[in-house]
Amino acid sequence: MSAPRRGSTAQSYLDAPNVDTPKGHGKKTAEADKSPVGAIRRRLSVAGSTETIDGGIERLSVADQEEKVEGGDASLARCAVTEYSGLSKKGHAPYNPRKKNQDSLIMADHAETNSLVLCVLDGHGEAGDGVSQHFKKELAKEMFSHPAWVADPKKATKDAILKVEQQILRNSRVDTEFSGTTLSMAIVRGNTIIGVNVGDSRVTIGKLGPGGKIVSEEFTHDHKPDTPDEKKRIINAGGRVFAVEYDDGIDGPMRVWLGHMDVPGLAMSRSLGDAVAHTAGVISEPEFFERELDAATDRFLLVATDGLWEFMDNDECVGMAVEASEPRISVDALVREANQRWMREEQVIDDTTVITAHLFNYHGGHC
C-alpha cells in the first residue's frame, strides 16, 4: 500500500517506506503519515499502570478519594477538576509490524499548590517514542522543583520544557536529528487553567452554550506550517513550506522542509527535539493560554494528540464526551471512534492519546 497521506509522523524521505513522488519537486519526499475549605471530593490517586493489551495501551485511571484540606485561603484549597482519566493507545501500521506507541501522557498532582497537570505528548520520527517517554519521565519533576513554580507557573513550565528538551538533544542514545514530540498541557490551579502548546496536539473545553447545549471552546491552537506568522518565521530562517502532491493528485498536509533538500517534512511548525527541522525555522517555544474556569458554564476538558483531532473536530469530540457519565468511559469512546475513522480513511491508525477531566463535579448527560 502507498504511504498514508495524513498524520504528523515525519521521516527523512530517504528512510520512508513506500513513498510517492511529489509533483513539481523532482525528489521523493517525507512519508506523509507523519469549593470551600474542608473535605473536597477529588480523584487524584493513579490506580492504573501500563497494560500489555493489544501490545500498546497505557491507561492512567483514577480513584475516589476524600482529601482533607488544612485551613488557609479558600482559593488555594480548591481545584476545578474533580475527576479525570487518560488513555494512550498504539496505532496500527500494516507496513510496520514492530510499531511502538510513540505517544505518552502525564497526569501529575502537586498538592502544595493544589495544581493538576494533564499533558499529552505525540512523538514522531524513528526515535519519537524515546523523546516523548523522556518528557513523561522528567517534565513534571522539573516543573514542580522549579523556584518559580509557586509564583509563576508559566515561567517554571517554559523553563522546564526547554531544559528537558536540551537533555534529550544531548542524549547520545536517542537520535533526535529527525525525531521529536509535540506537547499539549492543561495546568489547573484552583479555578485557573493555563494551556501550554508546542505543535499540533490540543486542549479543548466543553462548556454550556446557548439553549443549554454543551459546546466546544478550542483553548489551545495548533501550530501549523501554513499559519501566517509561523510560515513567515520558517521562510525567514531559510526553510520552505509546501504540501506534497501525490501521483494520484491528492495533496497531503503542509510541511516544513529545508531550503536545499526535501527533508524533514514536518507537519507542524513547533516541536521538541527535531534538530534538523530547527535549522529551518521550527521552534520549541511553548505558547501559553490562560483563563478562569466558571462553575456555572465550564463542564470538562479534553487534552489529546492529533490521533483524535485528525478526523474529528472539537464539536464532535465534545458531543461524544457529553454522553459519558465518567471520564474513563469518555476516553474509551473517543479513542475507539478515532481509531475507526482512521481505518476508514487511511487503512492505518495513528497513536491516539486522550485525557478527559470533569470540572466542578460534572457528570455526563447533565448541564
* pLDDT tens column, 199-222: 999 999 999 998 889 999 999 999
The yes-or-no verdict on residue 71 having pLDDT over 60 is: no
Residue 59 is predicted with a pLDDT of: 66
Res 358: pLDDT = 96
Query: Alpha carbon 178 to chain centroid distance?
Result: 19
- Asked if the model's pLDDT at residue 271 lies above 80, the reply is yes
**Would you tell me which CATH number, out of the four given (3.40.50.720, 3.60.40.10, 1.10.10.10, 3.40.50.300), belongs to the domain 39-359?**
3.60.40.10
pLDDT at 302 over 90: yes
Query: Is the predicted pLDDT of residue 248 greater than 80, yes or no?
Result: no
**Quick one: pLDDT band at residue 275, thresholds 50, 70, 90?**
very high
The DSSP secondary structure of 32-59, one letter per residue, reads S----SSEEEEEEEE---EE-GGG-EEE
pTM of the prediction?
A: 0.82
Q: Compute, in degrees rounded to 10, the torsion defined by CA atoms 301, 132, 33, 101.
A: -90
What is the tens place of the pLDDT at every residue in 137-192? Answer: 999 999 999 999 999 999 999 999 999 999 999 999 999 999 999 999 999 999 99
pLDDT cut 70: percent of the chain above it: 78
Beta bridge partners of 303: 203, 355
Structural element, H or E, at residue 330: helix 327-346
E strands, the chain, are: 39-46, 50-51, 57-60, 62-68, 81-89, 103-110, 115-124, 180-189, 192-198, 202-208, 214-218, 240-245, 251-257, 264-266, 272-273, 287-292, 298-304, 352-359
